[in-house]
Amino acid sequence: MQISGAEIVVRSLQEEGVEFVFGYPGGAVLEIYDAIFKQDAFKHVLVRHEQAAVHAADAYSRSSDKVGVALVTSGPGATNALTGIATAYLDSIPLVVISGQVGTPAIGLDAFQEVDMIGMSRPCVKHNFLVKDIAELASTIKKAFYIAKTGRPGPVVVDIPKDVQQTLAEFHWPDSVNIRSYTPVTRGHPGQIKKAVSLLAEAKRPFIYVGGGAVLGNAADEVRELVRSLGLPCTNTLMGLGAYPGTDPQFLGMLGMHGTYEANMAMQNCDVLIAIGARFDDRVISVPSKFTAVPKKIVHIDVDPSSIAKRVKVDIPIVGDVKLVLREMLDVLKATGAKPAAEPLAAWWRQIDAWRAPNSLRYATSNEIIKPQYVVETLFEVTGGNAIITSDVGQHQMWAAQYYKFDRPKQWLNSGGLGTMGVGLPYAMGAQLANPDAQVACITGEASIQMNIQELSTCHQYHIPVKLVNLNNRYLGMVRQWQEIFYGNRYSESYMDALPDFVKLAEAYGHVGFKVEKPSDVEPVLREAFGPKLKERLVFLDFLTDQSENVYPMVGNGKGLDEMDLPPHMRDAQAAESERDYGNLC
Amino acid sequence: MRHILSILLENEAGALSRVVGLFSARGYNIDSLTVSTTEDATLSRMTIVTHGSDDVIEQITKQLNKLIEVVKVIDLNESEHIERELMLIKVRATGKDREEMKRMADIFRGRIIDVTEKTYTLELTGTSDKLNAFIEAVDRTVILETVRTGASGIGRGERILKI
Ligand SMILES: Cc1cc2nc3c(=O)[nH]c(=O)nc-3n(C[C@H](O)[C@H](O)[C@H](O)COP(=O)(O)OP(=O)(O)OC[C@H]3O[C@@H](n4cnc5c(N)ncnc54)[C@H](O)[C@@H]3O)c2cc1C
Ligand SMILES: Cc1ncc(C[n+]2csc(CCOP(=O)(O)OP(=O)(O)O)c2C)c(N)n1
Ligand SMILES: [Mg+2]
Q: Are residues A352 and A382 in the same domain?
A: no
At which of A141, A170, A199 does a domain end? A170
Per the DSSP assignment, residues forming a β-bridge with A472 are A544
Q: Provide the shortest C-alpha distance from residue B73 to chain A (in Å).
A: 11
**Residue A92 CA to ligand 1 centre (angstroms):** 9
Q: Are residues A264 and A406 in the same domain?
A: no
Residues of A with a catalytic annotation lie at: 50, 112-113, 162, 478
Per the DSSP assignment, residues forming a β-bridge with B153 are B83
Query: Is residue A582 included in any domain, yes or no?
Result: no
Residue A381: count of CB within 10 angstroms of its CB: 12
Q: Are residues A196 and A107 in the same domain?
A: no
CB A387 within 8 A of CB A439: yes
DSSP result, A243-307: SS-TTSTTEEEE-STT--HHHHHHHHH-SEEEEES----HHHH-SHHHHTTS--EEEEEES-GGG
Closest by Cβ to A182, choosing from B18, B25, B68: B68
CB B112 within 8 A of CB B121: yes
Q: Residues near ligand 2 with C-beta < 6 Å? A: A 392-396, 419-422, 445-448, 471, 473, 475-479
Atom of ligand 2 nearest to the CA of A471: 21
What angle, 0 to 180 degrees and rounded to 10, lies between the N-to-C axes of helices A30-37 and A5-15? 60
Closest by CA position to A586, among listed A231, A344, A352, A355: A344
The SS3 of residue A143 is: helix
**Residue A180 with chain B: CB contacts under 8 Å:** 71, 163
At which of A356, A391, A424 does a domain end? A356
Q: Are residues A215 and A327 in the same domain?
A: yes
Which amino acid, A374?
Answer: Y
Per the DSSP assignment, residues forming a β-bridge with A557 are none
pLDDT on residue A580 = 54
Query: Is residue A72 included in any domain, yes or no?
Result: yes
Q: Are residues A203 and A303 in the same domain?
A: yes
Q: Are residues A351 and A202 in the same domain?
A: yes
CB A390 within 8 A of CB A443: yes
Instruction: Please answer yes or no on whether B14 and A306 come within 8 Å at the CB atom.
Output: no
Residue A254: count of CB within 10 angstroms of its CB: 25
CB A452 within 8 A of CB A51: yes
The SS3 of residue A403 is: helix
Q: Which H helix or E strand runs over A151?
A: none
Supply φ then ψ for residue A110, to 5 degrees: 55, 45
Compare all CA atoms of chain B with the CA of A304 and give the residue at the minimum distance: B66
The SS3 of residue B47 is: strand
Q: Are residues A493 and A518 in the same domain?
A: yes
Q: What is the pLDDT along chain A (586 residues), one digit of tens a residue?
A: 999 999 999 999 999 999 999 999 999 999 999 999 999 999 999 999 999 999 999 999 999 999 999 999 999 999 999 999 999 999 999 999 999 999 999 999 999 999 999 999 999 999 999 999 999 999 999 999 999 999 999 999 999 999 999 999 999 999 999 999 999 999 999 999 999 999 999 999 999 999 999 999 999 999 999 999 999 999 999 999 999 999 999 999 999 999 999 999 999 999 999 999 999 999 999 999 999 999 999 999 999 999 999 999 999 999 999 999 999 999 999 999 999 999 999 999 999 999 999 999 999 999 999 999 999 999 999 999 999 999 999 999 999 999 999 999 999 999 999 999 999 999 999 999 999 999 999 999 999 999 999 999 999 999 999 999 999 999 999 999 999 999 999 999 999 889 999 999 999 999 999 999 999 999 999 999 999 999 999 999 999 999 999 999 999 999 999 999 999 999 876 666 655 554 444 4
Instruction: Please answer yes or no on whether A180 and B17 come within 8 Å at the CB atom.
Output: no
At which of A140, A170, A200 does a domain end? A170
> CA B108 to CA A63: how far, in whole Å?
66
Nearest CA to ligand 2 atom 1: A421
Helices (H), A337-487: 342-356, 372-382, 395-403, 424-434, 455-461, 477-486
Q: Are residues A389 and A445 in the same domain?
A: yes
Instruction: Please answer yes or no on whether B68 and A147 come within 8 Å at the CB atom.
Output: yes
Instruction: Please answer yes or no on whether A309 and B66 come within 8 Å at the CB atom.
Output: no
**Residue A147 with chain B: CB contacts under 8 Å:** 68
- Using CA of residue B127, residue B133, residue B138, residue B141, what is the dihedral sign? positive
What is the Cα Rg of chain A in Å?
A: 25
Task: Quote the strand ranges of A102-191, DSSP E.
Answer: 127-130, 155-161, 168-170
Query: Is residue A340 included in any domain, yes or no?
Result: yes
Compare all CA atoms of chain B with the CA of A181 and give the residue at the minimum distance: B71
Q: Does B160 touch chain A (CB under 8 A)?
A: no
CA distance to A196, B99, B130, per residue, from A519 (Å): 50, 96, 79
**Residue A123 with chain B: CB contacts under 8 Å:** 21, 25
Query: Is residue A586 included in any domain, yes or no?
Result: no
Compare all CA atoms of chain B with the CA of A129 and give the residue at the minimum distance: B14
What CATH number does the domain containing A212 carry?
3.40.50.1220
Q: Are residues A95 and A234 in the same domain?
A: no
CA atoms within 13 A on the CB side of A186: 10
DSSP result, A525-577: HHHHHTSGGGTTS-EEEEEEB-TT----SB--TT--TTSPBPPGGGHHHHHHH
Which amino acid, A512?
Answer: V
> CA A573 to CA A280: how far, in whole Å?
28
- Using CA of residue A40, residue A43, residue A48, residue A51, what is the dihedral sign? negative
Q: Are residues A441 and A505 in the same domain?
A: yes
Mean pLDDT of chain B: 96
Instruction: Please answer yes or no on whether A181 and B9 come within 8 Å at the CB atom.
Output: yes
Closest by Cβ to A118, choosing from B14, B25, B68: B14
Q: Provide the shortest C-alpha distance from residue B147 to chain A (in Å).
A: 29
**Residue A416 CA to ligand 1 centre (angstroms):** 6
What is the mean pLDDT of the segment spanning B40-46? 97
Please count the structural domains in chain A.
3
What is the mean pLDDT of the segment spanning B31-49? 97
Atom of ligand 2 nearest to the CA of A397: 21
Q: Provide the shortest C-alpha distance from residue B80 to chain A (in Å).
A: 26
CA atoms within 13 A on the CB side of A544: 13
Which amino acid, B76?
Answer: L
Nearest CA to ligand 2 atom 13: A476
CB B82 within 8 A of CB B152: no
Q: Are residues A474 and A528 in the same domain?
A: yes
Print the domain residue range for A210: 190-356
Query: Is residue A393 included in any domain, yes or no?
Result: yes
Q: Taking every pair of C-alpha atoms in chain B, what is the biggest distance, in angstroms?
A: 57
Residue A137: count of CB within 10 angstroms of its CB: 26
Query: Is residue A362 included in any domain, yes or no?
Result: no
Compare all CA atoms of chain A with the CA of B71 and give the residue at the minimum distance: A181
Supply φ then ψ for residue B159, to 5 degrees: -75, 115
> CA A466 to CA A435: how far, in whole Å?
11
Closest by Cβ to A309, choosing from B58, B68, B69: B58
**Residue A280 with chain B: CB contacts under 8 Å:** none
Closest by Cβ to A181, choosing from B17, B62, B69: B69
DSSP result, A465-528: --EEEEEE-SB-HHHHHHHHHHSTT--TT-B--S---HHHHHHHTT-EEEEE-SHHHHHHHHHH
Q: Which H helix or E strand runs over B113?
A: strand B111-115
Query: Is residue A365 included in any domain, yes or no?
Result: no
pTM for the whole structure: 0.96
> CA A190 to CA B15: how far, in whole Å?
34
Residue A466: count of CB within 10 angstroms of its CB: 27
Query: Is residue A574 included in any domain, yes or no?
Result: no
- 3-state SS string over A171-216? CCCCCCCCCCCCCCCCCCCHHHHHHHHHHHHCCCCEEEEECHHHHH
What CATH number does the domain containing A98 carry?
3.40.50.970
Closest by CA position to A87, among listed A528, A392, A359: A392
Q: Are residues A207 and A121 in the same domain?
A: no
